Amino acid sequence: MYRGTTRFKCTECGEVFTSPDIEYNATVYSVPQPCPHCKSIRTMPHTVLPFGNIFSRSVYESIWEKMEERK
């Protein structure tokens, strides 16, 4: 489901960019969007909160691996 736009951060090159926020498999997670700078799919929402990032990098690691296997 499309949820608007959000800021993503690339874990490869550090680029922060705005892209569509699409729900990943009916969860609170977002489908990683390709980095416009280096084209890596290893991106995740860039959320700066006082108590830290609500998105777990370990969860995104498994999402990235699944997406890379399908390529």
Q: Mean pLDDT, the chain, as a whole number?
A: 88
Say if residue 49's pLDDT is above 60. no
* pTM recorded for the entire structure: 0.84
CA angle 10, 27, 5 (to 5 degrees): 50
| Token pair 């949820």: residue | 3
Which has the closest alpha carbon to 6: 64, 63, 45?
45
